[in-house]
Amino acid sequence: MEIKQLKYFVETARQEHMTEAAMVLNVAQSALSRQIGLLESDLGIALFRREGRNIKLTEGGRSFYEDAVQILDSIAKSKERLIDATDRKEHTFNIHITRSDMTGKVLQSFNHFIKQDGAIEFTIHSESEETLGEKLLDESLDLVISPQKFNDGELRSTLLFEQNYYYVFRQKGGLNLPVQASSSELEGLPLAAFDPVIEMERLFRNSRIHNYKDLSIIQHLLIDHGYVAIVTSDEARQLTYNYPNFTVHSLKHLNIKHPMYASMHKDNEKPFVVKWYSRLRQEFMSMHSSYTD
**Distance (Å, whole) CA 100 – CA 120:** 25
One fold for both 3-86 and 90-161+260-292? Answer: no
Nearest 5°: phi and psi at 27?
-130, 165
The domains of the chain are located at 3-86, 90-161+260-292, 166-255
Nearest 5°: phi and psi at 106?
-65, -45
| Structure confidence at residue 121 (pLDDT) | 83
| Structure confidence at residue 166 (pLDDT) | 95
| Residue from 2, 74, 73, 67 nearest 39 by CA | 2
pLDDT in tens, 27-53: 898 988 898 888 888 888 898 888 878
| Structure confidence at residue 291 (pLDDT) | 42
Element holding 238 (H helix, E strand):
helix 233-242
The CATH number of 166-255 is: 3.40.190.10
Count helices and strands (H / E) in the chain: 11, 12
- Using a pLDDT cut of 90, give the percent of the chain over it: 41
DSSP state of 173: G
Per-residue pLDDT of the chain (293 residues; tens, 9 = 90+): 788 888 888 888 898 888 898 898 898 989 888 988 888 888 888 988 888 788 899 988 888 888 888 888 888 777 777 656 555 557 788 999 998 989 999 999 999 888 887 678 888 988 888 999 999 999 889 999 999 999 888 999 999 999 999 999 998 767 889 999 998 888 888 999 998 888 887 888 777 789 999 999 999 999 999 999 999 999 999 999 989 999 999 999 999 888 999 999 999 988 899 999 999 999 998 765 544 43
List, in order, residues 6 or more apart from 209 with CB less than 8 Å away. 191, 192, 193, 200, 201, 230
| Structure confidence at residue 72 (pLDDT) | 83
| Structure confidence at residue 293 (pLDDT) | 37
How many other CB atoms are there within 10 angstroms of residue 109's CB atom?
17
CA end-to-end distance (rounded Å), the chain: 74
**Distance (Å, whole) CA 257 – CA 127:** 22
The CATH number of 3-86 is: 1.10.10.10
90-161+260-292 maps to CATH 3.40.190.10? yes
Total number of residues shown for the chain: 293
List, in order, residues 6 or more apart from 172 with CB less than 8 Å away. 245
